[in-house]
Structures are given as structure tokens and as C-alpha cells.
Amino acid sequence: MSSIFFSIIIPVYNVEKYLSKCLESIINQKYNNMEIILVDDGSTDGSPVICDDYSKKDSRIVVIHKENGGVSSARQRGVQIAKGEYIIFVDSDDWMENNCVELVSKSIDDTHPDIVCYGYVCDNGKEFINSELKYRMGYYSRSDIEKEILPSLIQTDKALYFPPSLWGKAIKCDFIKKYMLVDKNATIGEDGATIIPCVYHAQSLFLMKECLYYYRYNMESATKGRKVFNWNYPAIIANHIKKYVNLEEKDLYEQFNRKVAHEVFLVCLSRFNSNQKYSEIKKDIKNGLSNEIYLNAINLCHFHPINKAFLMQQTLKHQNVFVMLLFSRIYRLM
């Protein structure tokens, strides 16, 4: 029987419709040596009551109620009190296979890797689609990471990258505490900004074949909702990565520029979710793209010409706002 103690951290915000299913999947895990930290991030629906009710039923559950500060601040509060050797993050509208923690613990027992990754199942409301990790399964030493993971850690010229989500992984607590990005202005992308330095500094990884996490494709979530992202967030993510990753190693600086350009493109597209006139949006985009960090990344990044990311880069480089509008409409249909 494994003695590894896990901290499962769940940020909670207005998810009363899905929260019980998430919590049931965790309290009914076949593995019991864990704590479950629920961080209510100022919910205004019935979520706080659900959290408190579950804490009365299960002594492993700890509930924190805080003012709304965003998902990264909620995760940070959970990390601050976490007692586990490894941390597993779960989004409150998702759920886990009941043997997830058990299988993760078995993967850790022999080699004690810094990070364990596993696949997920996407629930799009119509069907369940398995998404296995696109890498070799099994143990990775530091030399393996350098050879097999770093070439696609941030972003390749075909716009491929290591899975950036915090969910779908068990990460040593010390890594999370050291490399976690917390900034209320980074409303998306903070997962990847945390994962990239964690993997970069890892001495070992273990990648599992199993798909153990159920991801609910929620159109109301931050990455798919009709929100307008602030211009600061790509710079915040860029500065965080630069702080902890030696971009002079291998081709990481090229990868870094691709990621920054991609994040900037998402901001540009999100401007069309506003109620502003086209002329005002165009002016806003032109002004936003004057940021030196963004200009450098856009001009220096290179994508494979037979890839839609190449069109993205050219659109940014020439500041073709009309093409951005077309992209935004295509994204809405996806």
C-alpha cells in the first residue's frame, strides 16, 4: 500500500450545477491517503453551501471561503495550506475516474518522479472522446526530458506543445510553490505559465497511457466564452516564463516567441467580442500591438509555412485587422 499523501485542490466559482459530480468522483476514489481542499472563490450561487455540506460528510475535506480573485488566486490559497507531497488540481466542473489517484500513486512508487501526467476524456455534451498524451509513455530521466520533451515544451513551428493544463497531472508540492503564476490580470494562460517552468526544471517525469480525467467542454469557461482578454496577460505570462526558464538553451527562445505571438493573437481576436465599432477595435488592436515585447515576438517567431499558425503570424506581422475579424468568426463556429 502506497504511503504517498496527495493534496487535491479544487477552485470553486459558481458551479452548483456540476460541483457534486466532481466531489463524488474524488471522495469515492479507491485511494484514501489524501486531503481535498475546496477553495470557494466568492461564489454567489449555491456552491459555498455544497462545499460546506461535503466537508461535514468527509473529514478529508477542507473548505476555504475567500473574496473573488480568479482561479489562479484560488489555487494559490489551496497550495498555501497543502500538506501533500504531490498536488493534483481538479477544475470544479470536471471529474475523475475512481481509480485515478490509485494509478497515479502506483506510477510514483518505484521512481518518485517530479511530475506524473495522464490523459483525459473530453465530454463535449454529445460524446466522450479519449485524448491520450502524444508522447512516449513511461519514465523520463533528466536526459530523456532534454531530448524528448524540451523540443516541444513551449511551442514548435507546427504550433504543438507539451500539455499546458494544471489538471491531468500530479506535481510535487515544492515545484508548484516555486513556479506557480498568480496574477489576477492573467485570466487565461496561467496554467501553461506554471507548467512550463515545472517541466523545464523537473529531473524526472512519468507519463501514463490511461485517460483518467474527464474534461467538460464548457462554452461558458474563460477560454471559450465571449470575453475580452486584457492586453497585459501575454506580457505577464512571458515575463513569468523568462524568469524561470533559460531561453538560451536549445531552441527555447524561438519556442517562447511563438507562444507569445499566439497569446497576443488570442487577445486580438477577443476584441471582437466587445460592443465597440470595427473602427474602434482596429485602433485598439493597432495600439496593443505597439508593445515592444509583442512586436519582437511576432517578428522573430517562425512557423512552418504549411500550418495555420503561419497565417496567424503573418496576420499579426502586417496588422491585418480584417483577417483577424474573419479568424474570430471562425473561432466562434468551432
How, if at all, do strands 115-123 and 169-172 pair? antiparallel
C-alpha cell at 113: 518522479
pTM, 2 dp: 0.93
| pLDDT the model gives residue 217 | 85
Provide the residue type at 144 as one letter.
D
Task: Identify the pLDDT of residue 334.
Answer: 47
Contact between 28 and 3 (Cβ < 8 Å): no
In the chain the first and final C-alpha atoms are separated, in Å, by: 45
E-strand stretches of the chain: 6-12, 34-41, 61-66, 86-89, 95-96, 115-123, 128-131, 138-140, 169-172, 205-216
Which residues, other chains included, contact 253 with Cβ-Cβ below 8 Å and sequence gap of 6+? 247
The whole-angstrom separation of Cα 12 and Cα 38 is 7
Note the pLDDT tens digit of each residue in 234-243. Answer: 999 999 999 9
Tell which residue, 105, 122, 171, 116, has the closest CA to residue 140.
Answer: 116
Strands 34-41 and 6-12, bridge-based pairing? parallel
**Phi, psi (degrees; rounded to nearest 5) at 178:** -85, -35
Print burial letters for 87-115: b (CB count within 10 Å at least 16), e (below 16): bbbbbbbbbbbbebbebbbebbeeeebbb
The list of the chain residues with pLDDT below 70 reads 1, 218-225, 332-334
Cα 47 to Cα 49: distance, rounded to the nearest angstrom: 5
pLDDT, tens only, 194-237: 999 999 999 999 999 999 999 998 655 544 557 899 999 999 99
